[in-house]
């Protein structure tokens, strides 16, 4: 039993140059996924973006056509999230 612990530790040491970068890369991918999920699926974040867009439009920093296009994308994303949540709730209730 003790020999396996030493062997395991030696393997960890031997593969350290390989496993550490891989683990770091996996960590970065997980962080990136969280950021993307927040951008795409967080309704509060979408509301903030919509409010910011409306403010930029009112200040004249965004043209009407660009405003309509961006607003349509954000509202569409919010509808998609609401529908997905409703679907999940219905599946969970069955």
Kindly report, residue by residue over 15-29, the tens digit of the pLDDT: 777 777 888 888 989
Query: Residue-wise over 49-74: b if at least 16 C-beta within 10 A, else e?
Result: bbeebeeebeeeebeeeebeebbeeb
pTM above threshold 0.85: no
Q: Cβ atoms within 10 A of the Cβ of 46, count? A: 19
Query: Which range, 12-16, 20-24, 47-51, 89-93, is most confident?
Result: 47-51
């Amino acid at each position: 039993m003790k020999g396996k612990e030493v062997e395991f530790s030696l393997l960890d040491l031997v593969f350290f140059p390989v496993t550490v970068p891989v683990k770091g890369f996996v960590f970065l991918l997980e962080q990136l996924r969280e950021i993307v999920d927040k951008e795409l699926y967080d309704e509060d974040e979408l509301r903030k973006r919509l409010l910011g867009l409306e403010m930029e439009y009112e200040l004249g920093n965004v043209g009407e056509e660009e405003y309509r296009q961006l607003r349509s994308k954000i509202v569409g994303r919010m509808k998609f999230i609401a529908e997905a949540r409703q679907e999940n709730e219905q599946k969970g209730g069955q």
